[in-house]
Chains A and B, each alone.
Chain A
Amino acid sequence: MKIACFSKDIVSLRKLLAKINKLKKKDDEIFLILFKYFYKDDIIENFKYTPINKLILLTNINLMSYDLEAFTNAISECYKKYKFDLIVFGDSIEDREVAARLSARLNIPALMNCLDFKVEGSKIIVNKIYQSGIAALEIETTLPAIVEFNELEEEEIERDSRAQIEEIKIPIAVSRVIVRDKTKLSERYNELSKSKYIICIGENIHEEKELKIINELASLIGARVVADKTVFARNWFKEWVGISNLRISPKLCLSIGVKGDFDLLGGIIKSSTIISLNEDPESLIFNFSDYYAIVDIHKLTEKLIKKLKKRIKK
Chain B
Amino acid sequence: MRIAVFVKPIAISDSNQTYKFSINASEKVALTEASKIIKLRGGDVVVFSIGDKQFIPYLNELYGATEAYLISDPLFSDIDVFAKAEILVSAIRKSKPFDVLMFGEFSQDTSDWILPYLVAEKLNLPHISRAIKAWSEDSRIVCECVYYGDLYVKEARMPLAVSMLDALAYNARPIRDFKPKEVKVWDANFLGIKAITKKTKALNVKVLNQRNPKLIEYNSYDDLADKLCDLIINNLK
Identify the A interface with B (CB < 8 A).
68-69, 72, 93-94, 96-97, 99-101, 103-105, 109-113, 125, 130-142, 175-186, 189-193, 197, 203, 221-222, 229-234, 238-240, 243-246, 251-252, 254, 266, 269, 272-275, 277, 286-295, 299-300, 303-304, 306-308, 311-312
Of chain B, the residue at the smallest CB distance from A295 is B224
Contact present for B236 and A136 (CB under 8 Å): no
Q: Shortest Cβ distance from A187 into chain B, in angstroms?
A: 11
* A288-B85 in contact given A177-B128, A190-B146, A233-B13 (Cβ < 8 Å): no
Of chain B, the residue at the smallest CB distance from A246 is B25
Contact present for A293 and B127 (CB under 8 Å): no
- The one of A185, A269, A274 that contacts B150, using a Cβ cutoff of 8 Å: A185
Residues of chain B within 8 A (CB-CB) of A137 are 202, 204-206
Q: Shortest Cβ distance from B176 into chain A, in angstroms?
A: 15
Q: List 20 A-B contacts (CB under 8 A).
A: A93-B147, A100-B112, A103-B117, A104-B118, A135-B205, A139-B202, A177-B127, A179-B153, A180-B154, A185-B146, A190-B146, A192-B170, A234-B14, A244-B24, A290-B211, A292-B216, A293-B224, A295-B221, A299-B221, A303-B222
Q: Is B188 an interface residue (CB 8 A)?
A: no
Contact present for A307 and B213 (CB under 8 Å): no
A226 CA to B85 CA in the complex, in Å?
Answer: 33
Size of chain B's interface in residues, with CB distance under 8 A?
81
Q: Is B20 an interface residue (CB 8 A)?
A: yes
Residues of chain A within 8 A (CB-CB) of B148 are 93
* A139-B203 in contact given A182-B150, A245-B25 (Cβ < 8 Å): yes
* A197-B236 in contact given A97-B129, A286-B213 (Cβ < 8 Å): yes
Of chain B, the residue at the smallest CB distance from A286 is B213
A-B contacts besides A135-B207, A180-B153, 15 pairs, CB < 8 Å: A93-B130, A101-B120, A110-B112, A136-B208, A140-B201, A176-B156, A180-B154, A197-B235, A222-B236, A269-B210, A273-B235, A292-B215, A293-B215, A304-B225, A307-B225
Contact present for A140 and B13 (CB under 8 Å): no
A42 CA to B224 CA in the complex, in Å?
Answer: 58
Identify the B interface with A (CB < 8 A).
10, 12-15, 18, 20, 22, 24-25, 82, 85, 108, 110-114, 117-122, 126-130, 132, 142, 146-157, 160, 165-170, 199-216, 218, 221-222, 224-226, 228-229, 231-233, 235-236
Of chain A, the residue at the smallest CB distance from B149 is A185
- The one of A109, A275, A306 that contacts B200, using a Cβ cutoff of 8 Å: A109
- The one of A184, A273, A293, A306 that contacts B151, using a Cβ cutoff of 8 Å: A184
Pick the most buried of B112, B156, B202: most chain A CB atoms within 10 A of its CB.
B112
Of chain B, the residue at the smallest CB distance from A254 is B232
Q: Shortest Cβ distance from B59 into chain A, in angstroms?
A: 18
- The one of A100, A113, A243, A272 that contacts B118, using a Cβ cutoff of 8 Å: A100
What DSSP secondary structure best describes chain B's contact surface? mixed
Residues of chain A within 8 A (CB-CB) of B235 are 197, 251-252, 272-273, 275
Residues of chain B within 8 A (CB-CB) of A192 are 169-170
Of chain A, the residue at the smallest CB distance from B141 is A177
* A246-B232 in contact given A139-B201, A293-B224, A300-B224 (Cβ < 8 Å): no
A109 CA to B147 CA in the complex, in Å?
Answer: 25
Contact present for B129 and A68 (CB under 8 Å): yes
* A176-B114 in contact given A140-B203, A290-B213, A303-B225 (Cβ < 8 Å): no
Contact present for B156 and A177 (CB under 8 Å): yes
- The one of A190, A239, A289 that contacts B211, using a Cβ cutoff of 8 Å: A289
Q: Shortest Cβ distance from B155 into chain A, in angstroms?
A: 5
A196 CA to B207 CA in the complex, in Å?
Answer: 27
Q: Shortest Cβ distance from B233 into chain A, in angstroms?
A: 6
Residues of chain B within 8 A (CB-CB) of A190 are 146, 165, 167
Q: Shortest Cβ distance from A62 into chain B, in angstroms?
A: 14
A213 CA to B170 CA in the complex, in Å?
Answer: 22
Residues of chain B within 8 A (CB-CB) of A186 are 151
Of chain A, the residue at the smallest CB distance from B143 is A177
A244 CA to B119 CA in the complex, in Å?
Answer: 20
Contact present for A141 and B199 (CB under 8 Å): yes
Residues of chain A within 8 A (CB-CB) of B12 are 229-230, 232-233, 240
Q: Shortest Cβ distance from B163 into chain A, in angstroms?
A: 10
Residues of chain A within 8 A (CB-CB) of B112 are 100, 110-113
Pick the most buried of B151, B209, B218: most chain A CB atoms within 10 A of its CB.
B151
Please name the 7 residue pairs, one residue from A and one from B, whose CB atoms are nearest each other, closest first: A100-B117, A104-B121, A176-B126, A100-B114, A233-B14, A109-B199, A190-B167
